Amino acid sequence: MSQIEADFQQVVGFGQQISSRTQMETTVLLALLLQGALTLSLTDNSVPTLRFVAVGDWGGVPNAPFYTAREMANAKEIGRTVETLGANFILSLGDNFYFTGVQDAKDKRFQETFEEVFTAPSLQNIPWYVLAGNHDHLGNVSAQIAYSKVSKRWNFPSPYYRLRFKIPKTNVSVAIFMLDTVTLCGNSDDFLSQQPERPKDLKLARSQLSWLKKQLTNAKEDYLLVAGHYPVWSIAEHGPTHCLVKHLQPLLVKHKVTAYLCGHDHNLQYLKDKDGVGYVLSGAGNFMDPSKKHQRKVPDGYLRFYYGARDSLGGFAYVEITSKDMSITYIEATGKSLYKTSLPRRTVP
Question: What pLDDT shows up at residue 43?
Answer: 56
The secondary structure of 137-206 as a DSSP string is GGS-HHHHHHGGGT-SSEE--SSSEEEEEE-TTS--EEEEEE--HHHHH----GGGTPPP-S-S-HHHHH
Question: What pLDDT shows up at residue 10?
Answer: 42
Residues with Cβ within 8 Å of 63's Cβ and at least 6 positions away in sequence, in order, are none
Q: Is residue 337 part of a domain?
A: yes
What is the maximum span of the chain, computed from C-alpha positions, in angstroms? 53
Under 8 Å between Cβ of 291 and 266: no
What separation in angstroms does the CA of 105 have from each of 137, 176, 178, 346?
Answer: 15, 25, 21, 39
Q: Is residue 185 part of a domain?
A: yes
pLDDT tens series, the chain, 349 aa = 434 444 444 433 333 332 333 333 333 333 333 333 334 545 566 899 999 999 999 999 999 999 999 999 999 999 999 999 999 999 999 999 999 999 999 999 999 999 999 999 999 999 999 999 999 999 999 999 999 999 999 999 999 999 999 999 999 999 999 999 999 999 987 666 678 989 999 999 999 999 999 999 999 999 999 999 999 999 999 999 999 999 999 999 999 999 999 999 999 999 999 999 999 999 999 999 999 999 999 999 999 999 999 999 999 999 999 999 999 999 999 999 999 999 999 987 6
d(CA 14, CA 255): 26
Instruction: Return binding residues for Fe cation.
Output: 57, 95, 98, 134, 229, 264, 266
Left (φ > 0), alpha (ψ -120 to 50) or beta: where does 342 sit? beta
Q: Where are the beta strands (DSSP E) in 3-138?
A: 9-10, 50-55, 89-92, 128-130
Q: Is residue 173 part of a domain?
A: yes
CATH of the domain at 275: 3.60.21.10
Helical (H) or strand (E) element with 212:
helix 202-218
Instruction: Return binding residues.
Output: 57, 95, 98, 134, 229, 264, 266
Count of CB atoms situated within 10 Å of the CB of 28: 5
Query: Which pTM was predicted?
Result: 0.89
Q: Is residue 85 part of a domain?
A: yes
Q: Is residue 24 part of a domain?
A: no
HSE on the CB side for 308, CA within 13 Å? 19
- Give the range of the structural domain holding residue 308, as residue numbers without chain letter: 9-16+42-344
Work out how many domains the chain is built from and give that number.
1
Beta-sheet pairing, 161-166 with 9-10: antiparallel
